[in-house]
Structure 1
């Protein structure tokens, strides 16, 4: 069996690290992980030492290195196609990949204004242009799939699509970005998932501080 090693950033802040870690953990895929904190003014040189892109997450499988969250998830699915990384139904799987790719390429206003921060108390902030539009689009995506597939997760059972949007769950909560009951119920389901709870526990135990993500 593959000996997978996933390099991740600070679990309190690294939204892109959370995504593949959560997808693999929820699917029961065995892997080791190593945290390389990025609370350095010019970045942590230890990341560049292992990652060709100078970024995390990075999955290492022997001589193979995969350095992008969605690519890591797809590789895990290829290794373990029956693990439930993606929905079993082909149409649902295609839809899940589409909304996951939208997460990668979109919602810049939300991501820039509202960094993921597991430790942060709930506190609203002044929202720049575009954030409310991002929130509305994400809620529409969530509600449509929850209605179509019956919940509690986007495609019924937890999948990589939920992992891709898990950092948004944190953002919606800590910046008080929504009060929609359907959204809040979905957020509670994600937060209650054992894999998310395990990540949160590790994040709360970290001592590193990234000042620009503490606004």
Structure 2
């Protein structure tokens, strides 16, 4: 079994971080999901696990020395089988461009594409929710067409509205809350991906799949 190159670092006095280098890879992420489940079964030793994109934070119980668990964590990574999270397929209707997709034209021009080509490439893949983070309910999505990968803005916006369809680096996403953001805004959806009064409050979960669907393209 191939083992993806990884490292384990000490975080603070009683936590370990396992992370894997390289571009977003769903096979790596399936192993991270599996590790979160497996490591979490070590009651009395592990207090909390926090999976993210290609990484897993393991917070140990106060009486456990990180050095003592590091080798165990390493051995588990080498043996763990990928977790095939069933996930749901979620349809995200999008209005591209216009006042709520203000970066679409500039992003298209930067790649030598038309607006319609960007929309076609953005709606073509089936994305995977690798993890939630940054803000409540925000999914880090893998699957973006590499031709649309765009470095984040040099100057972040102070306010990007909830529901903004965004691209940052090789990732796509949907803003779950109105907040500052350095990601490029190419459209907007009325679908609510986070509602504090709902159960569960986050619409997305790791392993879910997303398809963006163009309702309208404003040139």
Flag whether TM exceeds 0.5 (same fold).
no
Between 1 and 2, higher relative CO (CA 8 Å, sep ≥ 6) is seen in 1
TM-score, normalised relative to structure 2 = 0.25
Structure with higher Rg: it is 2
Higher-helix-fraction structure:
1
